[in-house]
Structure 1
């Protein structure tokens, strides 16, 4: 399995590791209520042994293990550095939480080991996500639940300057694609799941995150715009021919500042959740 060149945690500089660790944890916290509600509804409450594939800092495990204290949790990630962060944050839960370094397409567990197996924002970074899904199915017990949570940046909506800001998002989608990341993978989850003969009861749930001035700080830049611009303010898109320099300059100097300062601005984006059961 090929992992993309644009996201390899162990190759980050120390300062970026720290900021990225905080960002990953905050990302889970931003929609923790929805995560908890959907996972409980779809079988987490009844599960006894839970596996997080691509666990990162362990933020998801922390969320669930703080509430559901009677379960055993395992987290797998290919990054030794990020697992060090996860282990430190869960030192008091050693009896219930175990972290293991491994690739997601070759999980170090026996067949039929877990009641609930999930992954979040991992498939998008891999060249063959089906291999990961099949490993998740393999280690899941018959009748157990598998779940994948992914983004789809193609669902992003802005007002005002929707057309102009969408150009930036589309440039980021294309740039990510050139570097091996699929930022529109959410729409593909249904076909991934239903094409597996050992998965039944496939269900897709779309969670929209709608933002206005009522629930964000004044003039705060939307996270996807901030992420797309990055430290180089989109210059990499110009270099790749995905934006012209004039378009980049208008975004930086006009469209984004005016969008952020508009008291009636609106932004919406989506997370997509795929749930399925392993056939008995």
Structure 2
């Protein structure tokens, strides 16, 4: 059996299409084709309770684009660690960063075997830069930080932007979300950045929250939306950039089409902070 055949066999054994996965459900909401019936069923259940979910996921992608552009253009960041990558779509981190600075180096991390199948698209780098992909789970930060591919691609003596966009709400309280983020941040050099966007119930009426909680209880993967105060805990000890903690749709969005989507329609917080 060849290496590629062995890899395909291993991926096939891990790919459970009967259970929804966050990356494939996200792909479904974005209008992609790399999803299965379980992903669509889960996605439709959430959309029934929160009809603007597709707008929300598009705004998450737009926030990622803006955050990468700001860090590359204004902060001079040339290294990005993007965890919870998802399936390739427009304006992936390396595409945005390398369009500004071709020498940018990006490491993607995800645990969906289907994302790994598509990693070749993610690994298409500008000649001056580099991209790599690590098959790992955010719940195992030590595995990510100790991966040889990470250290072959990124220089941890220089600042790194840690991207956690639309992934932390899948880390439940029992998985120690704050400990995970702290472990990752502590591994980065001074001058690095933390970028987080995550779902919240804060602006939603009680009936919408109840419907979403019911869909969450029935479905998979489970999610844990967080309040503004809970979201702010991810940035303890860091210097949050202007405009602070705001709606995903409002972060540095002056050049986006106006008016911006409402906080109720997006129901997600975003912020970027520097490690002092």
TM-score (norm 2): 0.59
Say if 1:67 and 1:48 are closer, same or farther in 2 by CA, change over 3 A. Answer: closer
Instruction: Say whether residues 1:88 and 2:121 are aligned partners.
Output: yes
Shift of residue 41, structure 1, vs aligned partner: 3.8
Return 5+ residue gaps in structure 2 as ranges: 1-13, 33-53, 251-257
What is the match of residue 136 of structure 1? 184
Of 123, 130, 135, the residue aligned with 1:101 is 135
TM-score (norm 1): 0.58
8 Å Cα contact 1:152/1:187 also seen in 2: no
What is the match of residue 235 of structure 2? 193
Say if 1:67 and 1:41 are closer, same or farther in 2 by CA, change over 3 A. Answer: closer
What is the match of residue 184 of structure 1? 226
Tell me the SS of whatever aligns to 1:91. Answer: coil
Instruction: Say whether residues 1:172 and 2:212 are aligned partners.
Output: yes
Say if 1:65 and 1:271 are closer, same or farther in 2 by CA, change over 3 A. Answer: farther
Instruction: Say whether residues 1:273 and 2:273 are aligned partners.
Output: no
Q: Distance in 1 between matches of 2:167 and 2:247?
A: 18
User: Which residues of 2 match residues 1-280 of structure 1 at below 5 A?
Assistant: 10-13=15-18, 20-23=26-29, 29-30=58-59, 32-41=61-70, 45-58=75-88, 59-91=92-124, 93=126, 96-104=130-138, 105-106=140-141, 107=144, 108=147, 109=150, 112=156, 114-127=159-172, 128-156=176-204, 166-173=206-213, 175-176=215-216, 180-184=222-226, 187-194=229-236, 199-203=237-241, 204-207=244-247, 209=249, 268-279=265-276
Higher RCO, 1 or 2 (CA under 8 Å, sep at least 6)? 1
Tell me the SS of whatever aligns to 2:191. Answer: strand
Tell which deviates more after alignment, 84-93 or 44-53: 84-93
What is the match of residue 11 of structure 2? none
Shift of residue 71, structure 1, vs aligned partner: 0.6
- Larger strand proportion of the pair: 1
8 Å Cα contact 1:200/1:276 also seen in 2: yes
- Residues 218-242 of structure 1, C-alpha deviation per residue, up to 9 Å, x if partnerless? xxxx9xxxxxxxxxxxxxxxxxxxx
Q: Distance in 2 between matches of 1:200 and 1:60?
A: 23
Shift of residue 115, structure 1, vs aligned partner: 1.8
What is the match of residue 3 of structure 2? none
User: Which structure has the larger Rg?
Assistant: 1
8 Å Cα contact 2:160/2:188 also seen in 1: yes
Shift of residue 172, structure 1, vs aligned partner: 1.0
8 Å Cα contact 1:153/1:173 also seen in 2: no
- Residues 168-210 of structure 1, C-alpha deviation per residue, up to 9 Å, x if partnerless? 443313553686420235551212321xxxx321353312659
